[in-house]
Amino acid sequence: MTSVAKSAERTRLAAGLTKGPAEVLDFFLPLWAGSHLAASAAEVGALTALETLVSFAVRPVAGALADRFDRGRLAAVGAVLYGLSFVVYAVTPVMAYAYVAAVLGGAGGALFWVALRARAGEGLRDDDGAFSKLFAAEGTGTWIAFVAAMTLVARIDYRGVFALGAVACLVAAVVLVASPRGTPVPDDAPKFRELGGRMWPMLGLVVVTALAEAGVALLLLMHLQRGHQLELGEIAAVFLPGFIVYSLLPDHLHRVVRRLGRRMVLSLAMVSSALFAAALSFAPNPPVIAVLWVLSAVAFAAAVPVEQAIVAEAAGVSLGRGMGIYEGATLLGATIGTFTAGLLYSAGDGWWMACLGAAGLLLVTSLLVPGAVAKVGVLDRPVEADRLRNDVPDDPNVAFGAENAPKATFVSSEVDEPEKPEAPPKRGAGWRNWAIHAAIFTIAQVVLAIAGYSWPVAALGSDDLHFILNDSGHWLLNAGRIWCLIFLVDTVWTGISLLRKRDG
């Protein structure tokens, strides 16, 4: 394994270790603040708004710092601040200290994600699927953290879960510090104004995607809690299959991007998201909602890595500033999405209005995708960039098709090893990935069977079609049914992919 590949693995590991606890915190924070600190709804809203405001303000600064200092160590600083915010949440007795934690979390999140995504972008010349792999790592970290948190919260309370989140962030910081130092960015690298002028069409798509993802997720959360009166564990079980999709499909979907092109995949992803959002308004029960959320997750897993790769390629050597702008656009879209979803849901027919409104916005935006991607000036198919890299090694801006990008080179996080002849793809890689998924699935089912909640075991002993297909009773059984379906799809997909490789 080359030094570049090892660095990419460390980056993905750090992403998974940090993303999971961050998502769990977002899920638990309103419940914990209300039950343990007796916070009012206004105080909970102020706490969330403070973290968002700090994060939004720090992201441009983080972008500039990521183009000035080593990105791995800057991300490590962000992870440490993230961890400190978890520590404060775990020990605080009053709301005043919770506001301090929100400031630490907002600043730490901005530093961490801007620097980490810029670091991931360094590897695009060696792996055009770098952002798909990063997205999958984040998805894996999320569902593992959710399973652990939901399993342990009854035993160690919210504060114990927050303490475990702090430990995960500390481990992520150690992983990043252990990576080799990066190379400084040239002084004449593009600044924010130039990058913003170049990327603004793409940033509009980023805002809409983040708006739809965050808005739909909040709508689901509120509808499951208020419309279907589900408990915390049951709500998490509905979201869990979508997070598992985030971890399993991005690499497979990147192969689709190579075949169809970025414009087509982004357009199809937004149309699909629109259809699923509209269908949510008619979903009769939580199992159907869970299936639609899985389908929405597939669309987002296809769109988000493509957007990140386009922004990174357009940014050239200014990956830090480029990712700072991207992260700012993402946060802006998520803030608008959650605020609008909350307002619409509180109206009389808010669930229908919000779902159909998101669907309409996504449909209109899908028509603008081809023109927006074309204006940014990157090539449509990432596989072409990989071929051109070999032909034009000294000018990545030409290789990546950024017509108006500055003449500069991508910054690698370490000195590359001498080039070696490219080895043929390993045929066993697909089976090894599937074997890892199968091992996790099997171990989980054994544990669930011991506890009496394994859906495959329960289904084998039941002849009730309603139990098997619709409602299996306990939320763990329903989650297991959806997981079995995902594992079946993964198995079939892996088999078909390997057969195609063998035949062709």
Q: Residue 400: enclosing H or E segment and its boundaries?
A: none
Q: Please indicate, yes or no, whether residues 331 and 465 belong to a single structural domain of this protein.
A: no
Q: Please indicate, yes or no, whether residues 364 and 321 belong to a single structural domain of this protein.
A: yes
Q: Please indicate, yes or no, whether residues 375 and 434 belong to a single structural domain of this protein.
A: no
**Structural domain includes residue 2:** no
Give the relative orientation of helices 192-222 and 286-315 as an angle to the nearest 10 degrees: 170
**Structural domain includes residue 484:** yes
Residues 6+ apart with CB under 8 A from 13: 137, 172, 175
Q: Is 416 a residue whose pLDDT tops 50?
A: no
pLDDT in tens, 420-434: 444 444 445 567 777
Final residue belonging to a domain, choices 125, 158, 184: 184
- Are the C-beta atoms of 116 and 15 separated by less than 8 Å? yes
**Structural domain includes residue 463:** yes
Q: Please indicate, yes or no, whether residues 146 and 197 belong to a single structural domain of this protein.
A: no
- At 472 the pLDDT is 58
> Measured in Å, how far apart are the chain's first and last C-alpha atoms?
26
**Structural domain includes residue 164:** yes
Q: Please indicate, yes or no, whether residues 35 and 171 belong to a single structural domain of this protein.
A: yes
Q: Please indicate, yes or no, whether residues 163 and 213 belong to a single structural domain of this protein.
A: no
pLDDT in tens, 197-233: 677 778 888 888 888 878 877 777 777 877 778 777 7
Classify residue 492 by burial, with Cβ atoms within 10 Å: 0-12, 13-18, 19+: exposed
At 450, is the pLDDT very low, low, confident or very high (cuts 50, 70, 90)?
A: confident
Give how far Cα 167 sits from Cα of 81, 170, 398, Å.
12, 5, 43
**Structural domain includes residue 1:** no
The domain that contains 278 carries what CATH number? 1.20.1250.20
User: How many structural domains comprise the chain?
Assistant: 3
Nearest to 80 by CA among 180, 171, 179: 171
- At 88 the pLDDT is 93
What residue numbers bound the domain in which 443 lies? 429-503
Q: Above pLDDT 90, what percent of the chain?
A: 11
pTM for the model stands at 0.72
Q: Please indicate, yes or no, whether residues 74 and 18 belong to a single structural domain of this protein.
A: yes
Whose tokens are 């769990």? That residue is 24
Final residue belonging to a domain, choices 134, 151, 184: 184
* Of the candidate ranges 24-38, 400-414, 443-457, the one whose mean pLDDT is the lowest: 400-414
Which range has highest mean pLDDT (104-108, 253-257, 489-493)? Answer: 104-108
Q: Please indicate, yes or no, whether residues 207 and 345 belong to a single structural domain of this protein.
A: yes
Q: Write the DSSP assignment of 310-372 as a string of letters.
A: HHHHHHTT-HHHHHHHHHHHHHHHHHHHHHHHHHHHTSTTHHHHHHHHHHHHHHHHHHHHHHH
Cα separation, 362 vs 212, in Å, equals 8
Cα separation, 88 vs 81, in Å, equals 11
Q: Please indicate, yes or no, whether residues 32 and 96 belong to a single structural domain of this protein.
A: yes
At 169, is the pLDDT very low, low, confident or very high (cuts 50, 70, 90)?
A: very high
In the numeric block, which tokens belong to residue 348? Answer: 């009389």
Q: Write the DSSP assignment of 40-76 as a string of letters.
A: -HHHHHHHHHHHHHHHHHHHHHHHHHHTTS-HHHHHH
- At 425 the pLDDT is 46
**Structural domain includes residue 418:** no
What is the chain's mean pLDDT, rounded?
78
Q: Please indicate, yes or no, whether residues 151 and 30 belong to a single structural domain of this protein.
A: yes
Final residue belonging to a domain, choices 150, 165, 184: 184
pLDDT in tens, 139-153: 888 888 888 888 788
Cα separation, 253 vs 498, in Å, equals 15
Note the Cα 39 to chain centre separation in Å. 29
**Structural domain includes residue 460:** yes
Q: Please indicate, yes or no, whether residues 86 and 214 belong to a single structural domain of this protein.
A: no
Q: Residue 187: enclosing H or E segment and its boundaries?
A: none
Q: Please indicate, yes or no, whether residues 98 and 163 belong to a single structural domain of this protein.
A: yes
**Structural domain includes residue 126:** yes
